Amino acid sequence: MTKNSPPYPSRRYAWFVVFVLIIASLVAFIDRQVVAIVVEPMQKDLGVGDTEIGWLYGVFALFYAFAAIPIAAMADKKSRKHIIAIGIFVWSFMTMACGLTKNYWEIFLARIGVGIGEATLSPTTTSLLGDYFPREDVPLAISIFQAGPIIGTGIAFVIGGLVLEIVGESPPLVLPLVGELAPWQQTFLYLGLPGIFLSLMILVIREPARRPFQRTSESLSDTEDLLDFYRQNFKTIIFHHLGNLSLVLTGYAFVFWSITFFVRVHNMNAAEASQIFGWIFIFFGPLGPFLAAYIAKVLSNKGYRDANITAGMLGGIATIPAVLIIQVAPSPLWAFIFYAPALAAVNSPFGIAAGALPVITPPHLRARVAAIYMLTGATGMMFGPPLAGAFNEYIFPGPEGVRYSMITMTCFFGIIGVLLLQKGRKHYAITMKNTEKWAKEE
């Protein structure tokens, strides 16, 4: 740290902020994943197929990614806690709006609003944590933050399944001007409500001082700095982004269609399958990112500059057999047992993938670099569920088709992701070495 660098906030307060942001990410992923819980009743009422339902996730991802870029530009200059608070209010309100829709295109538009709201969280958090923690601790802090979405996904399935079960057994809900709401509509309404209050709570956290950065040329603007960063580190970025894109595509398709897998292949009730799946996700999903972060930390301490990429690649390798064995499980019990290691493996690359970027990115560019990575990752979110849905509908029709779609997606995209990360390891190590000079000045 140079003489002009402000001191970092206390470690205790920094971890408190991580905890608050984890709560925000829990709420975000509950609102994001609820559509996967109500697939069957929503299809029945709206009269749409698997591909259209998959695009309700895809359109969310599209606007989530593109909205993140201008939002990130603001996060590199403006109050980050205010940006996050506004975003939470928007995505929560639009989740509730999903429950008030009467046709497919109305819920399609509401999901766009959810995506725009959630686009505030990830790049802004990357910028915040880069100013709360010293450089060597940023990957761990971001990996732990990334556990929030994973736990949130599990909670989404547990609470969503429970709410769906409760409202399904309750008298119909009739609202003035809206009319009667089906159980799946009420599920959206109730799950969106808590975020309205959370958006106010976010305002209590303190904004950290931004880290100074000495440009190599005084004539460069932030935009020119950003383009220069990508030119100098093109191979590092391209292999990191495309490798993780492939793994994201695999993972989101797998998770999105998991409840449908139990309903169609094992003849389970959606509410029951959702709750069991959610508890497995809560306990085993976060283990993968924590283990990947730990492996990266150990390798980094031993001098391996490619540690962050290697740890993610190992998670991708573990994902392939873990997902495949579920598809041949002889019963729902065995399928749920096999889901434990699979969910740990599927989730393992994503925390360290995000954490690998701020340590190689100048402080004043971190939010925008994170947003551009979101664009590639959201491409996986955008195409994973609808592509698997198209496989279900057109390539492998029938109740058993969902398992063959998962086999196809995992083998193809999982292997591509692993190979791309392997190719990118040496380039990431070179970039890490090149950043050591300016990193000492933070």
Q: Which domain holds residue 417?
A: 11-205+221-439
As for how many domains the chain has, the answer is 1
In this prediction, residue 91 carries a pLDDT of 94
Within a domain: 211: no
For the residues 378-390, what does the mean pLDDT come to? 84
Within a domain: 210: no
Please classify residue 442 by burial: count the beta carbons closer than 10 Å to its beta carbon, then call 0-12 exposed, 13-18 middle and 19+ buried: middle
∠ at Cα 226 (225, 231), nearest 5°? 95
Within a domain: 286: yes
Phi-psi region of 201 (alpha: psi -120 to 50; beta: other; left: phi over 0): alpha
Within a domain: 215: no
Of 385, 437, 439, nearest to 111 by C-alpha is 385
Within a domain: 111: yes
Residue pair 378/64 in contact by the 8 Å Cβ criterion: yes
Please tell me the pTM assigned to this model: 0.70
Q: Tell me: the pLDDT tens digits for 305-349?
A: 889 999 999 999 999 999 999 999 999 999 999 999 999 999 888
Q: Tell me: the pLDDT tens digits for 191-244?
A: 889 899 999 888 888 888 776 655 544 545 667 888 888 888 899 999 999 999
Of 101, 106, 88, 84, nearest to 30 by C-alpha is 88
Query: Quick one: pLDDT band at residue 127, thresholds 50, 70, 90?
Result: confident
In this prediction, residue 181 carries a pLDDT of 83
Report the percentage of the chain scoring pLDDT > 70: 93
* CATH number (domain holding residue 41): 1.20.1250.20
Within a domain: 6: no
Across the chain, what does the average pLDDT equal? 84
Within a domain: 4: no
In this prediction, residue 219 carries a pLDDT of 44
Within a domain: 118: yes
